[in-house]
């Protein structure tokens, strides 16, 4: 159950995308997300989709991994699809055909188009975000965020950026640990006869208490231990520290930037033309 | 008939991913009513995976587990009932405490098993005697107790389900010598009182020599030895070759033997060694 969501799991490999600078990947991610929403018609969106699938191809991460990720959001996807299918209002244009299902729920060619368009957007968003997390270690990612946000120190937020980045690093680092811990506690309570699988909603929520309380307590304990260990190693924030791993843009990154720029420019053009 | 039988148990983790590995491979053994079985093995040798099959927390990839001659997975919906028959105390069980009083926490298991309030009270009183918890502790919060006391409460929580078979995964890890001796004693007491069968995982060979009738030796997911404790400890060279060892006192005896003394190789407890050395001293140095 807990292993279904592969989001945020690094898939070790040595591909073009893996080797890119995390800052470049992050900037490209943000750009593409913006352009997914800027794309106003199917042609523009399929251009972006093409770019994304190229990225997927070059990431050398098995398609199965992406599909596993999509399975987790399938309910949201279907929900969006249905909502758009039945509740798209056609104000500006008259639909060329329509089909009444029941209870006044009508499908038109416009709503069909819109439903798939919205679903495709969500799909692309998930795939591109998953690609970033598959190809970038969480630590690289926080380094990139810290680096990209570093101009904030000029407006009086000197320590904030480093502290936030450290908090994120720690949070990310402890996700697998906490999942493992949860699994252990669940097993321990199951061994004591806890029933987690049956009963109505309220009973199920109640059944979670024996898991959540020990988990909370152990998280607090871990936080204390970690804080002490960090102090023992003279951690005092980011001041006066140099990174062991310096981030550097390479030719790969510039190539990627250029390609993304081209696609985005075309998208805008397509938006205007069609 | 044996109370518990494991037949050709194989367990593969993450079968469909590149990380798959056999955690346990083709393990078979059977346990008789009332026996104390020790499981020893290197870290990562599959001990914990093995015992999690015994109460149905993990489902075997291949093979089966027979409890009283019946496959425990015969009816998957009834798997919770198996857990009342086979109790499992995890490593560091104190981290699973959650109720606001010790009493309620110990009562969690029995309640899940459908015991009524009266029976729960009787059972808790019996178990508290075995694990050495004083009455006044029952109304305290488990989070106010010391580490060793928490361990007792957690062990009591499983014992209170009165399982016929009780499995301990490293019950003495992280305890001081006194705490260790106490835990070993309460395990023996529980066995004697309820005529239960006990399975213990431990890295502590001294404890094993003291309490276990038979030993299972695991190495890289396979069971390499299953024999009476003394027969296993006699094979000290083999144990060493897979990164295990014999009890400290046996190591001393082995050194003495190498120095030319005539010493039998079945001395595994300090008491036995003292007895033997005293006899040797009284009889003079004739053997040396």
**Considering only alpha carbons, which residue of chain B is nearest residue A192?**
B109
Residues of A in contact with B109 (CB under 8 A): 192-193
- Four-residue CA torsion sign, B262, B264, B268, B270: negative
**Considering only alpha carbons, which residue of chain B is nearest residue A12?**
B18
Inter-residue contact B39 to B51 (CB < 8 Å) = yes
- Four-residue CA torsion sign, A69, A73, A78, A80: negative
Whether residue B209 is found in the same domain as residue B274: no
Residues of A in contact with B80 (CB under 8 A): 193, 195
- DSSP structure string for B45-75: SSHHHHHHHHTTSS--SEEEEEETTEETTSS
Considering only CB atoms, which residues of chain B are within 8 Å of chain A?
52, 55, 57, 80, 83-84, 87-90, 93, 95-98, 108-109, 112-113, 143, 157-158, 161
| pLDDT value, residue A1 | 39
- Say whether pLDDT at A125 is over 60: yes
Considering only CB atoms, B96 lies closest to which of A189, A193, A209, namely A189
Pure H helices in chain B: 47-54, 79-85, 102-112, 117-131, 147-159, 177-194, 205-211, 229-234, 236-241, 248-258, 270-282
| pLDDT value, residue B284 | 59
Distance from CA of B102 to the nearest CA of A (A): 14
Considering only CB atoms, A210 lies closest to which of B84, B108, B113, namely B108
Question: How many CB atoms sit inside 10 A of residue A21's CB?
Answer: 21
Distance from CA of B212 to the nearest CA of A (A): 23
Question: How many CB atoms sit inside 10 A of residue A11's CB?
Answer: 18
- Four-residue CA torsion sign, A104, A108, A110, A111: positive
Distance (Å, rounded) from C-alpha A171 to C-alpha A160?
A: 16
Considering only CB atoms, B97 lies closest to which of A190, A191, A214, namely A214
Inspect the interface and report whether the beta carbons of B96 and A185 lie closer than 8 Å: yes
Whether residue B163 is found in the same domain as residue B34: yes
CA nearest neighbour of B5 among B77, B86, B64: B64
- ipTM for the assembly: 0.86
R_g of chain B computed on alpha carbons: 21
What total number of domains does chain B contain?
2
Question: How many CB atoms sit inside 10 A of residue A249's CB?
Answer: 13
Encode pLDDT of A31-53 as tens digits: 999 999 998 888 899 999 999 99
| pLDDT value, residue B15 | 61
Distance from CA of A11 to the nearest CA of B (A): 11
| Side-by-side strand order, sheet with B222-228 | B86-89, B165-169, B197-201, B36-41, B214-219, B222-228
Residue B6, classed as helix, strand or coil, is strand
Residue-wise over B189-224: b if at least 16 C-beta within 10 A, else e?
ebbeebebbbbbbbbbbbbbbbbbebbbbbbebebb
Q: Which helix or strand (DSSP H or E) is residue A89 part of?
A: none
Considering only CB atoms, B96 lies closest to which of A188, A193, A195, namely A188
Residues of A in contact with B89 (CB under 8 A): 191
- Residue B32 in domain: yes
Q: Which of A71, A188, A203, A214 to mutate to test the interface with B (most CBs of B within 10 A)?
A: A188
Distance (Å, rounded) from C-alpha B1 to C-alpha B66?
A: 11
Q: SS3 sequence, A13-63? A: CCCHHHHCCHHHHHHHHHHHHHHHHHCCCHHHHHHHHHHHHHHHHHHCCCH
Residue ranges of the domains in chain A? 16-136+248-273, 151-232
Residues listed for chain B: 288
Residue B267, classed as helix, strand or coil, is coil
Q: CB burial class (10 A; 0-12, 13-18, 19+) of residue B232?
A: buried
Q: Which of B58, B92, B95 to mutate to test the interface with A (most CBs of A within 10 A)?
A: B95
Whether residue B77 is found in the same domain as residue B131: yes
Distance from CA of A133 to the nearest CA of B (A): 18
A195 touches chain B (CB under 8 A): yes
Inter-residue contact A130 to A7 (CB < 8 Å) = yes
| pLDDT value, residue B270 | 87
Q: Which of B87, B98, B154, B166 to mutate to test the interface with A (most CBs of A within 10 A)?
A: B98
Inspect the interface and report whether the beta carbons of B90 and A184 lie closer than 8 Å: yes
Task: Find all residues with CB under 8 Å of A178, minimum gap 6, and list them.
Answer: A215, A219
Inspect the interface and report whether the beta carbons of B158 and A214 lie closer than 8 Å: no
Tokens of A208: 């979670």
Distance (Å, rounded) from C-alpha B49 to C-alpha B14?
A: 13
Instruction: Provide the residue-wise pLDDT of chain B in tens; the chain has 288 residues.
Output: 789 999 999 998 766 666 667 789 999 999 999 999 999 998 888 899 999 999 999 999 999 999 998 899 988 888 888 888 999 999 999 888 999 999 999 999 999 988 999 999 999 999 999 999 998 999 999 999 988 899 999 999 999 999 999 999 999 988 888 999 999 999 999 999 999 999 999 988 988 998 999 999 999 899 999 999 999 998 988 999 998 988 988 998 889 888 888 888 788 888 888 988 898 888 755 444
Encode pLDDT of A13-26 as tens digits: 888 888 899 999 99
CA B203 from centroid of its chain's CA atoms: 10
Whether residue B80 is found in the same domain as residue B141: yes
**Considering only alpha carbons, which residue of chain B is nearest residue A194?**
B112
Residues of A in contact with B72 (CB under 8 A): none
**Considering only alpha carbons, which residue of chain B is nearest residue A210?**
B98
Inter-residue contact B214 to B38 (CB < 8 Å) = yes
Residues of A in contact with B158 (CB under 8 A): 191-192
Mean pLDDT within A247-266: 91
Inter-residue contact A250 to A34 (CB < 8 Å) = no
Whether residue B16 is found in the same domain as residue B110: yes
Inspect the interface and report whether the beta carbons of A191 and B112 lie closer than 8 Å: no
What are the φ and ψ backbone dihedral angles of B165, each rounded to 5 degrees? Answer: -120, 130
Whether residue B262 is found in the same domain as residue B134: no
Distance from CA of B247 to the nearest CA of A (A): 30
Inspect the interface and report whether the beta carbons of B108 and A192 lie closer than 8 Å: yes
The overall pTM is greater than 0.80:
no
* Partners of residue B70 on adjacent β-strands: B67
Residues of B in contact with A192 (CB under 8 A): 83, 96, 108-109, 112, 157-158, 161
Whether residue B197 is found in the same domain as residue B267: no
- Residue B239 in domain: no
Last residue of one domain, picked from the residues B182, B202, B230 = B230
Tokens of B115: 């015991």
| pLDDT value, residue B63 | 92
Percent of chain A residues past pLDDT 70, beyond the cut: 93
Distance from CA of A188 to the nearest CA of B (A): 6
CA nearest neighbour of B153 among B172, B132, B176: B132
DSSP β-ladder status, B197-201 and B62-67 = unpaired
A61 touches chain B (CB under 8 A): no
Domain of residue B263 covers: 247-288
Distance (Å, rounded) from C-alpha A4 to C-alpha A8?
A: 12
**Considering only alpha carbons, which residue of chain A is nearest residue B105?**
A210
């Amino acid at each position: 159950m807990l292993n279904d969501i592969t989001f945020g799991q690094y898939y070790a490999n040595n591909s073009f995308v893996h080797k890119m600078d995390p800052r470049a990947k992050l900037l490209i991610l943000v750009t593409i997300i913006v352009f997914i929403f800027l794309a106003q018609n199917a042609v523009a969106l399929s251009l972006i989709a093409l770019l994304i699938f190229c990225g997927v191809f070059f990431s050398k991460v098995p398609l199965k991994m992406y599909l596993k990720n999509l399975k987790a959001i399938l309910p949201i996807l279907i929900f969006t699809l249905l909502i758009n299918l039945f509740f798209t209002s056609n104000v500006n244009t008259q639909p060329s055909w329509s089909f009444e299902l029941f209870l006044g729920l009508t499908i038109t060619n416009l709503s069909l188009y819109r439903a798939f368009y919205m679903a495709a957007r969500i799909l692309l968003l998930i795939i591109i975000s998953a690609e970033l997390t598959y190809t970038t270690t969480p630590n690289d990612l926080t380094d990139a965020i810290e680096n990209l946000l570093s101009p904030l120190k000029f407006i009086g937020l000197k320590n904030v950026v480093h502290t936030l980045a450290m908090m994120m690093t720690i949070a990310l680092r402890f996700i697998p640990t906490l999942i493992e811990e949860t699994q252990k506690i669940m097993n321990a309570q199951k061994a004591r006869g806890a029933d987690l699988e049956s009963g109505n909603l309220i009973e199920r929520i109640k059944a979670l208490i024996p898991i959540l309380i020990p988990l909370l307590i152990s998280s607090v304990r871990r936080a204390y231990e970690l804080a002490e260990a960090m102090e023992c190693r003279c951690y005092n924030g980011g001041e006066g520290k140099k990174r062991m791993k310096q981030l550097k843009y390479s030719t790969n990154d510039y190539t990627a930037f250029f390609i993304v720029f081209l696609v985005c420019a075309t998208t805008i053009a397509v938006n205007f033309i069609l | 008939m044996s109370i518990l039988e494991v037949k050709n148990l194989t367990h593969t983790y993450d079968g469909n991913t590149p990380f798959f590995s056999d955690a346990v491979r083709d393990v078979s053994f059977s346990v008789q009513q009332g026996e104390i079985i020790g499981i020893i093995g290197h870290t990562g040798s599959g001990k914990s995976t093995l015992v999690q099959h015994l109460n149905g927390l993990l489902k075997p990839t291949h093979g089966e587990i027979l409890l009283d001659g019946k496959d425990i997975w015969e009816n998957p919906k009834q798997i919770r009932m198996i857990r009342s028959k086979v109790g499992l105390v995890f490593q560091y069980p104190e981290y699973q405490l959650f109720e606001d009083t010790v009493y309620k926490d110990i009562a969690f298991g029995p309640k899940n098993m459908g015991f009524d309030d009266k029976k729960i009270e009787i059972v808790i009183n019996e178990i508290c005697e075995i694990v050495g918890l004083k009455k006044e502790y029952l109304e305290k919060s488990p989070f106010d107790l010391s580490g060793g006391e928490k361990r007792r409460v957690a062990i009591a929580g499983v014992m209170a389900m009165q399982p016929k078979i009780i499995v301990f995964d490293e019950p003495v890890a992280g305890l001081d010598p006194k705490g260790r001796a106490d835990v070993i004693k309460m395990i023996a007491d529980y066995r004697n009182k309820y005529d239960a069968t006990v399975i213990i995982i431990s890295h502590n060979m001294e404890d094993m020599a003291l309490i276990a009738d038979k030993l299972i030796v695991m190495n890289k997911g396979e069971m390499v030895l299953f024999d009476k404790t003394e027969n296993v400890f006699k094979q000290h060279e083999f144990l060493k070759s897979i990164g295990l060892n014999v009890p400290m006192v046996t190591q001393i005896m082995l050194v003495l033997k190498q120095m030319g003394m005539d010493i039998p190789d079945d001395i595994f407890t300090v008491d036995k060694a003292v007895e033997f050395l005293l006899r040797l001293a009284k009889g003079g140095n004739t053997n040396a």
